[in-house]
Chain A
Amino acid sequence: MTTIARFKRHLIQLLAALLCNLNFKGFTTGTIYQGSFKGVCVPGLNCYSCPGAVGACPIGSLQAALVASGQRLPFYMIGTILAFGALLGRTVCGWLCPFGLIQDLIDKLPLPKLKKGAWSRVLSWGKYLILVGLVIVAPLILLASTGVGTPAFCAWLCPAGTLEAGLPLVAADSGLQRMLGPLFSWKVAVLVALVVAALFIYRPFCRFLCPLGALYSFFNRIALLRYRVDTEKCTDCGTCRATCKADILRVSDRECIQCGNCVSSCEAQAICFTFTLKEHTDEEEHAHT
């Protein structure tokens, strides 16, 4: 990916972050937007308790819908995830997620970076464990056992909630400051650990822990907008895999966040970012890149 193209991606990331957080007034008053648009999910991980947030976080909403739905299936949230996934897949991670942008910016700091390898490939399964354990199973178990459906991922792990909502709201509200306890300390510790990790590892939260990225990864090979490889041009040189900062085995597999860093490294110019409504049976499915 050329410098201009990378700058374009960061610009879109910034615009997406701004669009998701248009309630600027909230940052000064320490309040959140409460209009009816809050019932609509944004595609990326953006805490709905962020003072600026004008939409809902898909993961927080999925947990809330699971525990609120009782005997019926949470069709609204399942449909939302399916629609975002089918349309964009993990393009959301690379281009639209505010927490991804923060990690991308941290990665710009000129520090020694830990290279990916077998260790990071193994850790990349962590996000699926978190999706099943903290997003789906734990809230339902807690609901059944205590009667309160705690959104376990938001409560115990989500660093976006701490950064985008916890810190600004607590800073602005002395009432909230008096409520601080061990859970807040734990969440700040998780956030600090992830920020430190992001100094040396490329997007550690997205690659190893994010349940939303895990959900979207199931759609990455079939999303309408994604990087595609022209098998007629591809020489199987493996440069794209080597250039990629994530743990891809091939372009647009489950680990690909669609950042496009591989495009400029491909001497055969076989990789392109396209939105198509036509089925391409001859390309990319078996492309070993």
Chain B
Amino acid sequence: MLKQLRHIPIGLVILAIGLALVVVGITQGGFVDVLRKAALICYECIGLG
């Protein structure tokens, strides 16, 4: 079993961790934080400060 686990690529493990964090982040309101910023014109981004 452990031998088989050693053959799981680290990229796959990190991908799984990343997706899990996305889910946790959504429940914490992270999605709303990003949406709130992205759905309005960002004056800093366009150079108006």
A residues adjacent to B (C-beta < 8 A): 32-36, 38-41, 47-49, 53, 55-57, 60-61, 64-65, 68-69, 72, 74-87, 150-151, 154-155, 158, 161-162, 165-166, 169-170, 176, 179-181, 183-184, 186-188, 219, 222-224, 276-279
Please measure, in the bound complex, the distance between the C-alpha atom of A277 and the C-alpha atom of B48, giving whole angstroms: 46
**Inter-chain contact B44/A154, CB cutoff 8 Å:** yes
**Inter-chain contact A56/B37, CB cutoff 8 Å:** yes
B residues adjacent to A (C-beta < 8 A): 6-15, 17-26, 28, 30-49
Please measure, in the bound complex, the distance between the C-alpha atom of A183 and the C-alpha atom of B44, giving whole angstroms: 9
Query: In whole Å, how far is B5's beta carbon from the nearest beta carbon of chain A?
Result: 10
Set B10, B33, B46: member contacting A222, Cβ < 8 A: B10
Q: Which 8 A-B pairs have the closest CB atoms?
A: A76-B30, A76-B25, A79-B21, A82-B18, A39-B35, A83-B18, A75-B25, A79-B22
**Inter-chain contact B48/A75, CB cutoff 8 Å:** no
**Inter-chain contact B11/A222, CB cutoff 8 Å:** yes
When A48-B37, A61-B37, A179-B48 are in contact, do A223 and B11 touch as well, CB less than 8 Å? yes
**Inter-chain contact B12/A75, CB cutoff 8 Å:** no
In the complex, chain A residues whose CB is within 8 Å of the CB of B42: 47-49, 60, 151, 154, 161, 165
In the complex, chain A residues whose CB is within 8 Å of the CB of B17: 79, 82
**Inter-chain contact B11/A219, CB cutoff 8 Å:** yes
**Known contacts A34-B39, A47-B42; can you find 13 more A-B pairs with CB under 8 A?**
A74-B25, A75-B22, A76-B28, A76-B33, A79-B17, A79-B22, A79-B24, A82-B17, A165-B46, A176-B46, A183-B47, A222-B14, A279-B8
Set B9, B15, B26, B41: member contacting A49, Cβ < 8 A: B41
In the complex, chain B residues whose CB is within 8 Å of the CB of A81: 18
Residue with the greatest number of chain A CB neighbours at <10 A, chosen from B6, B23, B42? B42
For chain B, what secondary structure do more than half of its interface residues adopt (helix, strand, loop), or is it mixed? Answer: helix
Set A32, A76, A83: member contacting B41, Cβ < 8 A: A32
Query: In whole Å, how far is A65's beta carbon from the nearest beta carbon of chain B?
Result: 5
**Inter-chain contact B21/A78, CB cutoff 8 Å:** yes
Chain B residue at minimal CB-CB distance from A82: B18
**Inter-chain contact A80/B22, CB cutoff 8 Å:** yes
Chain B residue at minimal CB-CB distance from A190: B47
Please measure, in the bound complex, the distance between the C-alpha atom of A36 and the C-alpha atom of B38, giving whole angstroms: 10
Chain B residue at minimal CB-CB distance from A66: B33
What would be 14 A-B contacts, judged by CB atoms less than 8 Å apart? A39-B34, A64-B36, A75-B25, A79-B17, A79-B24, A82-B21, A86-B18, A150-B44, A155-B47, A158-B45, A222-B10, A222-B14, A223-B11, A276-B9
